[in-house]
Structure formats: structure tokens, C-alpha cells
Amino acid sequence: MTALPTHRLTSMRRDAGLSLIEVTIALSISAVGALALFATMGTASHADSGAKRRSVALHAAHTIIQDVAADADTMTFNDFLTQWNDPANQVYQIEGLENPNAPGGNALAVVAIDQADPNRIGVSVTISWLDHGRTEQFVLPYTITEIER
């Protein structure tokens, strides 16, 4: 019977299982991958909540513009200007958005009327809100071209 060379026996023993270093490296790589996955989920969640807030702001601005347009259809020019130049009618509270100037309070939408052009009335709705510690703003312009004089 011939004996096998010793280097060959050593080689066979080493291939029989994983060493502690190999297991540690594999776990480290898996942990880095898991952390990257969780970081991506956090970023996606942050972006999603920002998009929801923008959607609330856009919906509120459109609703206010619809109110203004309805008044333009039913009021005379002077009545319309009296109505919408009154500060009490220019500010709306928007539920679901936080006020950047009063944390914890509702965000505000401000209606501005521009009558520089005698043939049309410019209306803009500006909404500012707090989003993850930053102030965001949305402005929706609208032009009224026909109103009874």
C-alpha cells in the first residue's frame, strides 16, 4: 500500500468546511446589503410622504381656484374685486399640511389678486407647508379673462 503525500491530505481537510474568517466575511457582506436595502426603503418612504403632501397642496389650490372661478362667473367685476381683495377671504387653512410659521398648526393658502391688466384678472394661490423640517411652497396661477363689468 502506498501512502498519499501529506500535502494532499492537508488540502482535503481544508476543503471540508468553511473557516471562521470566511463565515465572518460572508456575514459582513450580507449585513452591508441589508443596511443598503433598509436605507433605500427609508428614502423611498421619505419621498412618498413628500409626494403625498404635494398632492394635498395641489388639490387644495385647485379647490380654491374653482371657488374663485365660480365667483367670477356669478359676480360683477366690482363685487368680485371687493370679495377677493378682502383679507378675510384671502387666507384658507389647509388640513393635512403643517404651517412652517406655526409648527403644529394647519398650513395656509393665500389668494392674491392682480388687476394690472384691465382686460383680465390674475389670481394666484400660494401654499407653504413644512415637509421634514424644510419649508415647501406651491404656487398655482390662474387668469380670469371674462367677467361682467
Report mean pLDDT in 10-residue bins for the chain, 149 residues: 57 65 90 86 71 89 91 86 88 88 87 83 91 88 78
pLDDT at 103: 80
- Residue 17 contacts by C-beta under 8 Å, 6 or more apart in sequence? none
How much is the pTM?
Answer: 0.65
pLDDT at 127: 94
CB atoms within 10 A of CB 62: 13
Cβ-based burial of 67 (10 A; exposed 0-12, middle 13-18, buried ≥19)? middle
One-letter amino acid at 68 equals: V
